[in-house]
Structure 1
Amino acid sequence: MDLLTIFVNIILPIFIIVGIGALLHLQFRFDMNTLVKINIYYLVPGLILIRLYETNLTMNLFFTVFMLFILYSVILYVVSFIISHIFHFKQTMRTAFMNSTLYYNSGNYGVPVNDLVFRQDPFAMSIQIIILTLQNLLLYSFGIFSVQASKIGKFKAFIDYLKMPVTYAMIIGIGLNIFDIPLPEFLYTSGTYIANALIGIALLTLGAQVAQLKFSKNLMTVYLSVIMRLVVGPTLAYLIIVVTNVEGVIAQAFFIASAMPTSVTTSIIAQEYDNEPEFAAQAVLASTFFSMVTVTIVIYLSTIIYI
C-alpha cells in the first residue's frame, strides 16, 4: 500500500467519526462528565472483558508481547522522567506529561487501525488486544494512582483504584479464557453490544473534547509531548524489536501500536481528577491531529520492513 491509500482507507475513517463528534458537540453541547463516566465505567470494561474472552491466547504469544510491552514502557518512562526533570516541570505537570507519553490510544484508535491494516486477521487482533489489556492495566493502576497520590495521598489513591471496574473486567475475561468457561449466550450478547459500542462512542468523545479546546498555554510542553509520543515512541519500539529479534506479524503489529497518539483516557482521567486537564486535553488533540501523518508513515514503513 502507498501512503495515500493507507491514509484514505485506514486513517480517514477514524477522523470522520472524530469530526462528527466535534460537530455534534458544537450543536448540542454534550455533558462531558457523563461521557467520561460512560467510557470509564461502561464501555472500556465491556470491551476488555469480551475481547479477552474471545481472543485465542497462547502463552508464547502473551509472553512475547508482554516482554515487548514492558521493555517499551520502562524505557519510555525513563526518557519521559528525564525530560520532565530537565524542563523542571512541577509535580502535577510532570505526572500529566508522563501520562501523555506513556499511555497511547491502543483501544479506540489502535483497534480500528489494526482491524483495517490486517484485514480482520484474528492473530493480529490478538496482539492488539493484549497490548490494549496491558495498557489499560497500567493506565488504570499506575496512571490513576500517580495522579491521585500527588493530591490525596497514596492510601486514598489505592482505595480509589480498587473502585475501578477495568481491573475486574480483565481478571474475569482472562479467567473465562484460560479455564475455557463459556459465557451464557444472553451475557455474551449484552457484552458484545457494549464492546462494539466503544469505538464509536470513544471517538465521538474525542471529537467533543476537540471541539471545546483552545491552544492557550503550555504549547511548548504540548509539542514536546507530541514529539515523545509520535516520534520517539515508535523509534524506541523499532529499536526494541531489532534488539529482541522479534519478526513477522508480532513485530509489525507492535510497531504500529506504538505509534498511536496519546490516549483520550488520559484526558478523561485528568478531567475526572483535576490534574492539568487543559494540558492533557491539548496533548490528546495535538497528538491525534499530527498522527494523521505519523501513523500513516509508520504503517507504510511497517509494510516495507516486516512484509
Structure 2
Amino acid sequence: MAELSLILREIIGPVFVMMLLGFIMQIKFKLDLSTLAKINIYFLAPGFIFNALYHAEFSGGFFFKIFFFFVLFVIILFILSRLLGKIIKLDRNRQTLFTNSAIFYNSGNYGIPVNALVFQGNPLAMSIQVIALTFQNMFIFSYGIFSLRAANKGTLKAMLGYFRMPVLYGLLAGILLNVFNVPLPDFVLVPANYIADSMIAIALLTLGAQVATIKLTKGLSIVYLSLVVRLICGPLIAYFMIIVFGIEGITAQALFIASAMPTSVNSSVIAQEYSDDPAFATQTVLFSTLASAVTVTVVIYLARLLF
C-alpha cells in the first residue's frame, strides 16, 4: 500500500495535473487539437529525439543488447495484438490503433520517473530506461505514423509521406553528430534543450485537451482488451524473455519494469493527426494510465521478488 501511495503521489499525480490543465483549457478556450498535434509531431518530437541521441552516452555492446531486447519484445506484442485483432474482426484503421496501443508504451514521462524512484538513480538501471525511451521515440514517430497513414492512404503514399517528416532527419542528425563527435554551438544546443524540455508538458496538455472532447462510448471492450495486452501480457512476455536469455539482477528488474508502462501519450498525439478515430487512441491512453497505478505497483513488487 505504501508503494502504491508513493507512485500515485510522485508519478501519476504530476501526469494528471498536466492532463487536467489541458482538459480545463480545452473546455474554456476550445483549442485547435489539429494544431497541437502538428506542434508535437513537426516541432517537439524532432527536437526531442535529436537532443536525446546527440547527448546519449552508451557503450556499443550494451546499447545493442538492450535495444535488441526491446525490438524482440515489440515484435512479439505486435504479433499477439494482430492475431487478437483478426479474431475479433477489427477493421484496418481500428486494428492499427489497437496494435499501436500495445506496442507503444510510455517510457519517458512515466517510465523515467518510475525507474528513478525504484532504483534510486542507479546509472545501469537508468541507462536501460533511456535506451527504452530512445527506441520508443524512434519507433512511434516512424512506424507509428507510417502505419496510420498506410491504413488511410495506402502503403506507397504513407512511405513517401514519411520521408517528408522532420522526425526522420532529427533522428539521423542526432545519431551522426554523436557518432562523429561533432561539437555544436550554443545557439543550436540551447534551443534544442528548450524543445526537449517542453515535449512532455505539451504532449500531456494535448492529451488532456483530447480527453475533454471525447465521449465515452458503449462497447469499450476493445479498449479493455488493449489494456490487458499492454499492462498484463507485456510484463508476462518480458518475464519469459528475461528467463530465456538468462538475464539477472538490476538489468532484469529494469527490463521487467520498463515493459509494464502504460500506452504512450504520443500514440494519442499521432492518432489525432493521422487517424479517423483519435477518440479510441485517447481512451486507451487514459484508461491505461489509470489502470497502471495498480499494475505497475504489482510489477515493481514482483521484480524485487523474482530477480
Distance in 2 between residues matched to 1:171 and 1:252, nearest whole Å: 31
The equivalent residue for 2:211 is 210
The equivalent residue for 1:222 is 223
Map 1:270-285; keep pairs closer than 5 Å.
270-285=271-286
Question: CA offsets per residue over residues 105-146 of structure 1, 9 Å max, x none?
Answer: 223332343344444455433322322222233223322222
Contact 2:3 2:297 in 1 (8 A): no
Aligned CA distance change for structure 1 residues 5 and 284 (closer, same or farther; 3 Å) = closer
Aligned CA distance change for structure 1 residues 199 and 140 (closer, same or farther; 3 Å) = closer
Map 1:27-42; keep pairs closer than 5 Å.
27-42=28-43
Q: TM-score, normalised by structure 1?
A: 0.91
Identity of aligned residues (%): 49
Distance in 1 between residues matched to 2:237 and 2:225, nearest whole Å: 16
User: Unaligned regions of 5+ residues in structure 2, if any?
Assistant: none
The equivalent residue for 2:200 is 199
Distance in 2 between residues matched to 1:122 and 1:34, nearest whole Å: 38
Distance in 2 between residues matched to 1:238 and 1:21, nearest whole Å: 36
Q: TM-score, normalised by structure 2?
A: 0.91
The equivalent residue for 2:21 is 20
The equivalent residue for 1:146 is 147
* Larger displacement relative to structure 2 (117-126 or 272-281): 117-126
Contact 1:53 1:176 in 2 (8 A): yes
Aligned length: 306
Distance in 2 between residues matched to 1:8 and 1:130, nearest whole Å: 26
How far off its partner does 1:225 sit?
A: 0.7
The equivalent residue for 2:12 is 11
Contact 1:111 1:128 in 2 (8 A): yes
The equivalent residue for 2:100 is 99
The equivalent residue for 2:248 is 247
Distance in 2 between residues matched to 1:10 and 1:208, nearest whole Å: 20
Contact 1:65 1:250 in 2 (8 A): no
Contact 2:52 2:134 in 1 (8 A): no
Contact 1:30 1:208 in 2 (8 A): yes
Alignment RMSD, CA only? 2.0
Contact 2:73 2:237 in 1 (8 A): yes
How far off its partner does 1:66 sit?
A: 1.4
Aligned CA distance change for structure 1 residues 81 and 40 (closer, same or farther; 3 Å) = same
- Matched to 1:243, the amino acid is V
Q: Is 1:267 matched with 2:268?
A: yes
User: Unaligned regions of 5+ residues in structure 1, if any?
Assistant: none
- What secondary structure sits across from 2:95 in the alignment? helix
Question: CA offsets per residue over residues 175-234 of structure 1, 9 Å max, x none?
Answer: 222222222122111111111111222122222222222211441111111111111111
Map 1:37-186; keep pairs closer than 5 Å.
37-186=38-187
* Larger displacement relative to structure 2 (142-151 or 89-98): 142-151
Question: CA offsets per residue over residues 5-25 of structure 1, 9 Å max, x none?
Answer: 233233323222222322232
- Matched to 2:21, the amino acid is I
- Matched to 1:145, the amino acid is F
Contact 2:23 2:211 in 1 (8 A): yes
Distance in 1 between residues matched to 2:30 and 2:116, nearest whole Å: 31
- Matched to 2:139, the amino acid is L
Distance in 2 between residues matched to 1:28 and 1:242, nearest whole Å: 51
